[in-house]
């Protein structure tokens, strides 16, 4: 439903809309920031009215600013705030547990790749703050991830839009085909990665739930 009003916003307000929507999503609000980026990139490719470099830079800046807002909120107010109000923005107990598990296991990789995983995109920065992750490390990996994310989806959308613009000829059709295949392949890879992370989390949760009280202590005693 949100996608319906994203398109006219991007067409009318251009880079301002991209920055605002991506920033708010990154700060923790359930908005389609990725859709705004892709639509702006397609619009740039089809019309030439937006510079794709500016689109990518704006989306990356919005992602970095928003993520740092989310990080600071998580660090300042911590787990009690998330537990109390998280469900209002879709961060239920299951997603919270999943995010905490992923940070404990993967740390920097989650900060970098979190933007590419739907279940973590909105909440990765907030959870990094809640888990008191190093801000300097967060800023480095988050900025790198934001730039890669904006570049990948921006270039993909731009190529698609440019191919649509030139679709009248055979070369345009080939370009359009490559663009569609590339976008689908990117989506497929990210979706499989997301499912793998979810399976890993659920398996660990089931194992932890099956352990009897005192198992951890017995394991430590056995290793001595």
pLDDT tens, residue by residue, 74-90:
888 877 777 776 666 66
CB 147 within 8 A of CB 28: no
pLDDT at 60: 97
Higher pLDDT, 166 or 72: 72
- Measured CA to CA, the distance from residue 215 to residue 82 in angstroms comes to 30
Q: Where are the beta strands (DSSP E) in the chain?
A: none
| Structural domain contains residue 95 | yes
Write down the pLDDT at residue 89. Answer: 61
Q: What is the mean pLDDT of residues 18-33?
A: 88
How many of the other CB atoms lie within 10 Å of CB of 221? 9
Tens digits of residue pLDDT in 99-136: 777 777 777 888 888 787 766 777 788 888 888 889 99
Q: Residue 218: inside a domain, yes or no?
A: no
What is the average pLDDT across 60-68?
96
The one-character DSSP state at 107 is T
Domain annotation covers residue 89 = yes
Q: Is residue 220 part of a domain?
A: no
Identify which of 120, 125, 130 has the alpha carbon closest to the alpha carbon of residue 198: 120
What is residue 58's predicted lDDT score, i.e. its pLDDT? 97
More confident residue, 124 or 179: 124
CA R_g for the chain:
20
Q: Is residue 100 part of a domain?
A: yes
Q: What is the pLDDT of residue 213?
A: 45
**Scanning the structure block, which residue is given the tokens 């600013």?**
65
Q: Looking at the 3D structure of the chain, how many domains does it have?
A: 1
Share of the chain above pLDDT 90, in %: 23
Read off the pLDDT of each residue in 197-221 and give the average, rounded to a whole number: 53
Q: How confident is the model at residue 90, as a pLDDT?
A: 64
Residue 219 lies in a domain: no
Percent of the chain with pLDDT over 70: 62
Q: Is the pLDDT of residue 195 over 50?
A: yes
Indicate if the pLDDT at residue 63 is higher than 70.
yes
Whether residue 19 is contained in a domain is answered as yes
In a domain, 48, yes or no: yes
Measured in residues, the chain has a length of 224
Provide the pLDDT for residue 113: 84
| pLDDT tops 90 at residue 179 | no
Check the CA dihedral 126-153-35-118 and report its sign. Answer: negative
To the nearest whole number, what is the mean pLDDT of the chain?
Answer: 76
Burial class (CB in 10 A: 0-12, 13-18, 19+), 128: buried
> What pLDDT is recorded for position 127?
82
Instruction: Give Cα 96 to chain centroid, integer Å.
Output: 15
- Domain holding 29, by residue range, is 2-212
């Amino acid at each position: 439903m949100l996608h319906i009003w994203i398109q006219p916003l991007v067409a009318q307000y251009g880079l301002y809309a991209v920055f605002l929507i991506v920033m708010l999503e990154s700060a923790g609000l359930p908005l389609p920031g990725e859709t705004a980026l892709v639509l702006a990139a397609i619009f740039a490719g089809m019309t030439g009215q937006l510079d794709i470099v500016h689109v990518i830079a704006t989306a990356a800046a919005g992602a970095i600013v928003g993520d740092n807002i989310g990080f600071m909120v998580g660090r300042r107010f911590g787990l009690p705030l998330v537990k109390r109000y998280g469900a209002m923005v879709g961060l239920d107990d299951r997603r919270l547990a999943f995010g905490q598990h992923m940070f404990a296991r993967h740390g920097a990789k989650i900060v970098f790749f979190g933007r590419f995983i739907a279940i973590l995109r909105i909440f990765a920065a907030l959870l990094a703050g809640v888990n008191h992750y190093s801000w300097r490390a967060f800023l480095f990996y988050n900025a790198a991830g934001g730039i890669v994310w904006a570049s990948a989806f921006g270039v993909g959308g731009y190529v698609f839009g440019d191919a649509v613009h030139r679709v009248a000829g055979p070369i345009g059709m080939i370009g359009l085909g490559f663009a569609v295949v590339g976008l689908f392949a990117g989506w497929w890879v990210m979706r499989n990665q997301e499912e793998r992370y979810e399976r890993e989390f659920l398996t660990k949760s089931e194992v932890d739930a099956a352990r009897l009280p005192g198992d951890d202590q017995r394991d430590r005693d056995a290793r001595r």
